[in-house]
Structures are given as C-alpha cells and as structure tokens.
Amino acid sequence: MKTVILAGGLGTRLAEETSVRPKPMVEVGGKPLLWHIMNIFAAHGHRDFLIAAGYKGEVIKEYFRNYFFHNSDLVVNLACGKSTVVNSDSPNWTVGIYDTGLNTLTGGRARRLKPYLNDGTFLLTYGDGVGSVDITRLVEFHRSHGALATVTIVRPPARFGSVILEGDLVSEFSEKAPTREGWINGGFFVFEPEVLDYIESDDDSLEAVVLERLVSNRQLRAFRHEGFWQPVDTLREKMTLESLWQSGNAPWKIWA
C-alpha cells in the first residue's frame, strides 16, 4: 500500500524555519519531520512513499537523492574518484518526489499523484505532524466498514496550557494539560482510489471540499486515536517535539 505525504505548503506560520526549507524538512533531533513521519508508516510495513512536493521541493529531492551516501561509510579512491560503500544504514524504502505545484491545494496535490497510485487503496497524511497512530489498526478499521475513506481523529493538544480559578485565586495551573473536548482531523487517512474522483481541480482543499463531499455521500468514517499526536505549526511546537526527542521518550517513536 502506497503512502502519500502532502509536503508542498508554504508553512508561513513557521517562517523562522521555512524561509529556507519546506516545513516537512524542519528538523527534530537532527532529522526532518518527513523522516519521522515516514518511520511511523515503515514501522507498520508501509515503505513505498509518494511525496507531493511544492514550495522548495528541491530541498526534499536533494535530501533523498543524497540519503544513501550520507548514511553510509565510504572508501574513496582520490586518484580516480571512485567511491565504494562499505557499510550503509539506509532503510529499504522507495521514495517518489513529485512537483505538485506551488499554489495547489491539498486535495489537488493528491489528485496530481493519481497516475502513480495504480488504482489501489492508499494511505495519506500531512508532512507536518507526528503521532503514535497504530497504522495497522487504522487499515484494519478501514477495511472493516466498506466506506471509501477513513480519517484519524484526535484530541487537540493544548497550545497554551490551562488555568483554573476560584474567584481570582488560581487553584490549578497546568502548562501542558490536554483538552478532552471534541475531536479534530489528525490526518493519517486511508483512501480508496475512488476518493480521487471527488477532487475536481488543483483548487480543491482536501479538508474544506473533498472531505465535505465524502461526508455528504456518507463515505467517511472516523478512526479514534487517543494517544499522542502533535502538529508543528509554530516554533514552540517544534521545540516541544525537540524536547521530547532529546529526553529519549518521544511518544511517536514506535520504530526500533
């Protein structure tokens, strides 16, 4: 099953980082977010990736074009320039990087990848969020209900913590207390190929248009994920992930 990763947006809310790189290439623990996301899927046996690139897509292409050599030990004969790999730590992944346009919206980016999906069921996620999502259970759930699409829904993480008052007396202060109210779209989709027929143009947003069309035809089911999930829209959120990674207890690190 192929995995599509939407990685072409401008990332304007993280301008401190995205002025020189696309947001999926922002690093946590010395590795791009994209690498972290791909490892989540690979841990469940999904190693065939299609990356929908756009803004500064050349940075993604260069990263994967040079990945093998950057993660290998080399012996270089300086007289002739020949290089011999003596040890490599590269994963067994296939990665396709496709330019899906600078201003194409999320649904349009998925639509542009149709020729490479081979009319099969596929996974799709965003290139700027991680979670401890059980991809195997997600796929099993999708296959059990017969609808065209499954969306993983999550509890929104608290961005600013919470303060509980008794009058003007602070009775409880929690910097990182998660909210338990409601569910939101957490990405991590499973789609049947017919979902692409719901996308008419580059200007169709996956969230505002495509999912709404699926809902109107009763073709969207929700997979509830109660575990860790965190998008990276701000520098603060990026630093939250960095802190978790450096602690050695990153909840999304489900691979060995």
User: 225 near 154, Cβ under 8 Å?
Assistant: yes
The burial class, CB within 10 Å (0-12 / 13-18 / 19+), for 1 is middle
pLDDT reported for residue 222: 94
Low-confidence ranges of the chain (pLDDT < 70): 158-181
Question: How high is the pLDDT of residue 170?
Answer: 46
Look up the CATH architecture of domain 2-153+183-246: Alpha-Beta Complex (3.90)
Question: What average pLDDT does the chain have?
Answer: 90
Distance (Å, rounded) from C-alpha 203 to C-alpha 215? 19
Q: Spell out the domain ranges in the chain.
A: 2-153+183-246
For residue range 155-210, list pLDDT tens digits in order.
887 665 555 556 655 455 555 555 555 788 999 999 999 999 999 999 999 999 99
Give dist(CA 146, CA 161) in Å, integer. 39
Q: What count of Cα atoms within 13 Å lies in the side-chain half-sphere of residue 26?
A: 30
